[in-house]
Structure 1
Amino acid sequence: MDYTLDKIIKYRREFHKYPETGWKEIRTSARIAEILSQLGYENIKVGTEAVDINTIVEPVRLSEDERKKEIKRAISQGGNKDWIRKANGYPGVVAEIDTGNIGPTVAFRFDIDALVDTEPYESGHKPFDEEYISINPNSVHACGHDGHIAIGLGLAKEILKHKKSLRGKIKLLFQPAEETFSGAESMVTKGHLDDVDYFFSMHIGLSYENKPLPSKSIACGCCDFLSDRQLDVYFQGKAAHPCGASQEGKNTLLAACTAALNIHSIAPHEEGLFRVNVGEIHAGVCANTIPANALIRVEYRGENSNITNYGKNRVLTIIEAAAKMYELTYKIVDYGEVPTAKSDKEMIDIVKKSAKKVSWFENIYDYGNVGGTDDATVMMKKVQDHGGKAVYIGLGADVTEPLHNPKFDFDENVLIAATNLFVNILKDISSCKNL
């Protein structure tokens, strides 16, 4: 390979240092586009050419003032002004290359957003010790997406190197806002998946038989995705003095707590896995005022549509009842639903064949565990619905902490192994006359 492990690690650490959460990945996208252009890519779509901004749900949609502030920050941190301008200040990158040889259209998806959390500035945490820790407040790459970006850029270089021996068209989708569940939809509605025959996505740090996948391991496909829906629930009541006129107050904090406790008491479902969580509660302005407004953030997940509908009905019933108990009105803002999906067996076999050619992968398994949700399933279903094939790969890597822990870090050797894997996949697809 032309790209050494050191080069790919350098990319990963750069993106780790400048994490950006969903729909704020402005520097990230500009830098990706800049690197792709330097490599020699010409067909590069960014921002409003890469994503449909109409799919951005209201809770995470930036105001014009907020977006201008994020653009200013991105430029101050080295974001390429020309690419930011071309993107109209929005994230997302799609690079496409036509090999010139007749063949299928193959797409690889790499999510690029960070999580809302604070990375610990403490000795023993490698990003701190080696000075690539997040410099952006309340933003951290604790889900491996910085590694996914680096793999995508490594693959981009190798595609150009092997272009003459490959067939068909190849798309590299650098997707924003996976954690907020609208990024994949924004690329689907923009049409980037319409002609895709084979779709590949992956994640660092998944599991096999419900145990973490260690370094030198790979799960060639995942099928246990849960559907997921997130809601913001706004309770509206009436403020009052808790002593002088408590009977006049309509307490939204109590309603929010009542709803949260009862939502967490929803029974499991006999048909399969069901999960529900209230992750945030905001209410009140001071100790001596009955809270007039409250917000709770809720998500529920299910293994199939029956379970998801069960969760939906129970959550909505509880919210309505809590509001009624305290004589409140309420409003629900729906982030939308991410569906379940399954990897195609044909694709798992392709990944398995290609993984055997990568010496780093010593333990190769057919199936791995997600045990959660990834909006890559929106893309998978889009491709599968028009007759294409899709797969979601679990890349094994020793980790310091579980995913979504701000101390999360991983064995960076997986980056070069994954790049090699995807190069082998493209070669195998190109050499197979039946594909």
Structure 2
Amino acid sequence: MAFGITFQEVSNPPMPRWSILLFVSLSLTIGIVACGGGRFSSEGHTAETQARSDPIVAEYVDSSLSLSEFERAYAEKHRDTSSSTDDSLAAYKNFLERYVNFRLKVRAARDAGMDTLSSIKQEVASYRESVGRPILMRSEVYEPLIRTLHERRKEEVDVSHILISVPSDAAPKDTVDAYREIKSISDSLERGVPFSQLAYRHSDGPSAQEKGERGYRGRLGYIRAGELPTAFEDRMYSVDPGTVSDVFRTRYGYHVLKVHDRRPATPPVRLSHIMIRRTTDSAKAVRTLDSLRTEVIANRASFGRLARTYSEDGQTAPDGGDLGTVNARRSLPPSFREALTRLDSVGDVSDVVETRFGYHLVQLTDRESLPSFQEAYDELKETISGTPVVERRKAQFARRIRSNVKTSVDSSRLLRVAGASSLDSL
């Protein structure tokens, strides 16, 4: 896949050797090689020498290019989520050619002692500007996974599970025994044996037999996407409430799960509070807070001013009782969550709420919306980065590129035109 420039098009007078090298780089083609499992086209390089999570996608002359190098080359560039798969693959092939030729040019100029020339510096700057295009690792690897995660986070799922653990170094017989045990449990569930009973008796989950703990009798409560292994969440979001999944495996072992309920995810809220600590005269504390609530509702005093004056929470009182932004269903005591269900509008103040810390008034100071895909992108990318599913998609992507770009470096042509005796002399 050359650029279509023939050597007869070179104008006179003859170009110096470094210029010929720059020109030759325009007619080079790129060798795309396997990621894992296969051998490189150059002798002495094998897939075994490459980290499985960083496959080689291209070879040229005596150098190679890894997938992570391409990801870094696109880093901090424009993000374009609208490109289709075909367009992205075409753009990737185009980028391979331009990027490799750019690197060859810089190398040739450096070897010829010309890398300080203003023309070379200008070309380097021009190249770096020209690669500000769609991030293919984003569109081909990360974006589909992040979009799924973002959609799933619009719901929270109440789920229980039963785990039969399988250590990573388990012998084949132990793995088979674990599968037979989970299959027997699955059969019992089909016969109507209560899920919680089987979880209490058989689950290797760390809290299955610890009353009051999350995971007791297998009950994990409401979970949002991105907290558990992909295989678990795939079942969790595909099983209807009230039903049980098939047997599946994660890195922890074999599972079955049951979905109890789904509900819309609650957007984060910003809260303030006034707290009076527990005393022997709890009735007096409640009367004081009721009086303060009346003052706020009647617009005779601001909640913040009263918090600074009366609240006994030394950390938040100086800031008008501000508790910051919290996830209402995950970060608050149950009594706070219950009070929030009756706060419809920003500025509303709760009745007196009791916790183990004391007595509170709670004000809803802001209600945020769930983040858009673009707003959540960076956080969700960090959530999935390095996970097995991402590494698999990287490897699959490299294989797709390899199958679509079947060319190789014409080393003999390079040597002939450059007048060099070996690649090492370039």
User: Normalising by structure 2, what TM-score?
Assistant: 0.24
User: Normalising by structure 1, what TM-score?
Assistant: 0.24
* Highest RCO, 1 vs 2 (Cα 8 Å, sep ≥ 6): 1
More strand by share: 1
When Rg is computed on C-alpha atoms for both structures, the one with the higher figure is: 2
More helix by share: 2
